[in-house]
Structure 1
Amino acid sequence: MIIIGGGPAGLSAALSLRRARRQVIVVDQAQPRNRTAPHMHGVLGHDGLPPLELLEKGRTEVAKYGVRVIVGNVISARADEQGVEVTTADGVIRARHLIVATGLTDELPEIPGLRDQWGTGAVVCPYCDGWEHRRHVIGVIATSSQSVGQAQLLRQWSDRVVYFANVVGEPDEPEADALARRDIRVERGAVVSLVTANGRLEGVHLEQRTVPVDVVFTGPALRPNDALLRSLGATTTDGPLGSWIEADRDGRTSVPRVWATGDVVDPRANVSVSLGLGTLTAGAVNTDLVHEDIEQAPSVGSSARPSAALS
């Protein structure tokens, strides 16, 4: 079994499959999406744990079972009805099935200072970071039509929410009325930069003034790291967030023996969800492997033995 991606989904799948006595290799770039965040929240049993520490614990756990983790890039992959083949800088790995858990990338607005604050003073998920900023001054920098909804959601954590219309422009009349009724202030004009002091966010700078805030939430463009899946010919579907690889509830793609799990196929998959999805996909893959084992088993009385393979 080959798993590409060593984040929560990939390592969770690796743990389940190895405990099912499957041979597992994980290929990982070691560039997780949440690497800039000092802590993660809302992960039961791990609330407040640094995300990189969670991955370190996960790698240690799977290594105890004999999972091999290769840090590096995948150069190419091939899949057909007989199996899969993955080429890395270290050579070619062959297996019966492939799980892709390569995650997604946040494409941030081109606002000076935003990238340096990403994961600390600038964040995206209210459920991950809203509690830490309850009753603080929360800025919402609009990037799309969904930003008004983000501001309304954050209003339940603080009664001091500032909506920065930015380049998206004025909210329409019903939206403006709804914002006003909940005392969400609207600041007009393009955001020029974030203002910081000693690495700490202090405000949002507009063309003529600076508005003090304690934190900003915004909505980056979500880009799945799915180039490998696309190169294999996986079917895509278009939606409000763009083009994504199609996968069923178990993670099965349109390509034989190729599966995808975590936020590479589901933008809603935070750490907790990805852990569960990795386990779910692992169970589905193992069920397929069991069916193959039955088909390949020798007939009663035969002396033939099934050949060994990385499964």
Structure 2
Amino acid sequence: MVIIGGGPAGLSGAVALGRARRSVVVVDSGEPRNAPAHAVHNFLTRDGTSPAELRRLGREEARAYGAELVDARADGVQRTDDGFAVRLSTGSVVTGRRLLVTTGLVDELPEVEGLRERWGVDALHCPYCHGWEVRDRAIGVLASGPRAFHQALLFRQWSPDITLLLNGQALPEAEQLELLAARGIKVVEGRVERLVVEDDTLVGVELAGGSVHALEALVVGAPVSVRAGLLVDLGLELAEHPMGMGLYVATDASGATSLPGVWAAGNVTNLAGQVITSAGEGLWAGAQINASLIADDERDALEAYRAAR
């Protein structure tokens, strides 16, 4: 059994399969999406744990149940008579009867000077992940897609001081502007050129023309792209997300993709899932993969039994 991706989903799947006494290899390139964040939140009993520490604990737990962890990038996947062969960046190959892909996604940040350096610190994307930490502060919502209007209204729950920065996009419709005004949300036109940082703290954004709008946090609902190239190479077609968030890997209720023998879990299939959600989905996919392997084992045993008779 091969798992590609060693985040919460992949490691949870490895624990589930390891506890089911399956042979598991986890391939991980060490590039987690949440690496810049100071802490993980909404994870019961782990709230405030750093992503690196959570990953360390998860790897330790997976190893305790026999999982083999390989620090490498998966460069290619091929079907074999027995399942799959995964070619690694180290030049070696690992094989398994089933494949679980938990490679996550990448945030496609707009080109604003200083944004990438503040990402995960005071440039944020999710109110449930970071809203509490910036409550009652001056928060700007940078328009970088169709969801900015809804994000501004959503973050209003955490602070009365919200500004929608249109960043060159068109003004919202009259009815939307009325709702923003009713909620006390300011609207600022003009393109955002850079983040203004003093003493390693965000203090505002500079607009085209040189004016500065004071802020203490910036929300960016950037488009995302899933790390699903390996699955596309196997013939999978990515699906359009029903909420307009981009392309994603569609699965059935068990976590299985349309490719026989291939499952997916975590952000690669749930674009809005948080860490605890991804962990739960990895556990579920691991259990369903084990059930499919049991079915194979039963079939093989029955065939061998009949042949012996």
Q: Which interval holds the TM-score relative to the shorter structure?
A: over 0.9
Corresponding residue for residue 249 of structure 2: 245
Q: Match of 2:106, SS?
A: strand
Corresponding residue for residue 78 of structure 1: 78
Please report the TM-score for the alignment, with normalisation by the length of structure 2: 0.95
> Following TM superposition, by how much is the alpha carbon of 1:146 offset from its aligned partner in structure 2, in angstroms?
1.1
1:16 alignment partner AA? A
> Following TM superposition, by how much is the alpha carbon of 1:28 offset from its aligned partner in structure 2, in angstroms?
0.2
Say if 2:122 and 2:218, in contact at 8 Å, map to a contact too.
yes
Q: Match of 1:76, SS?
A: strand
Separation of aligned partners in 1, 2:29 and 2:189:
41
Say if 1:79 and 1:256, in contact at 8 Å, map to a contact too.
no
Separation of aligned partners in 1, 2:159 and 2:141:
12
Corresponding residue for residue 295 of structure 1: 299
> Following TM superposition, by how much is the alpha carbon of 1:245 offset from its aligned partner in structure 2, in angstroms?
2.4
> Following TM superposition, by how much is the alpha carbon of 1:93 offset from its aligned partner in structure 2, in angstroms?
1.6
198, 208, 213: which one aligns with 1:211: 213
For residues 25-82 of structure 1, the C-alpha deviation after alignment (integer angstroms, 9 at most, x for no partner) is 0000011000000111111111111011100000011111221100011121112563
Separation of aligned partners in 2, 1:17 and 1:157:
40
For residues 177-223 of structure 1, the C-alpha deviation after alignment (integer angstroms, 9 at most, x for no partner) is 00000110111111111000122111011124101111011111110
Say if 2:82 and 2:96, in contact at 8 Å, map to a contact too.
no
274, 277, 282: which one aligns with 2:281: 277
Say if 1:81 and 1:256, in contact at 8 Å, map to a contact too.
no
**Range 111-120 or range 251-260, more displaced:** 251-260
Q: Match of 1:54, SS?
A: helix
Fraction of identical pairs, as percent: 38
Corresponding residue for residue 192 of structure 1: 193
For residues 103-140 of structure 1, the C-alpha deviation after alignment (integer angstroms, 9 at most, x for no partner) is 00001010001000000010000011111111111111
- 5+ residue gaps, structure 2, are none
Say if 2:248 and 2:271, in contact at 8 Å, map to a contact too.
no
**Range 22-31 or range 62-71, more displaced:** 62-71
2:233 alignment partner AA? S
> Following TM superposition, by how much is the alpha carbon of 1:87 offset from its aligned partner in structure 2, in angstroms?
1.3
Corresponding residue for residue 6 of structure 1: 6
Q: Match of 1:162, SS?
A: strand
Matches for 1:1-311 after TM superposition, within 5 Å: 1-79=1-79, 82-88=82-88, 89-207=90-208, 208-239=210-241, 240-297=244-301, 298-299=304-305, 302=308
Q: Match of 2:158, SS?
A: coil
2:75 alignment partner AA? I
* RMSD across aligned positions (CA): 1.4
Corresponding residue for residue 307 of structure 1: none
> Following TM superposition, by how much is the alpha carbon of 1:169 offset from its aligned partner in structure 2, in angstroms?
2.2
Q: Match of 2:100, SS?
A: strand
1:72 alignment partner AA? A
Say if 1:13 and 1:278, in contact at 8 Å, map to a contact too.
yes
Separation of aligned partners in 2, 1:160 and 1:132:
14
Separation of aligned partners in 1, 2:110 and 2:196:
15
Q: Match of 1:159, SS?
A: coil
2:70 alignment partner AA? I
1:54 alignment partner AA? L
Superposed structure 1 runs of 4+ greater than 6 Å apart: none
> Following TM superposition, by how much is the alpha carbon of 1:300 offset from its aligned partner in structure 2, in angstroms?
6.3
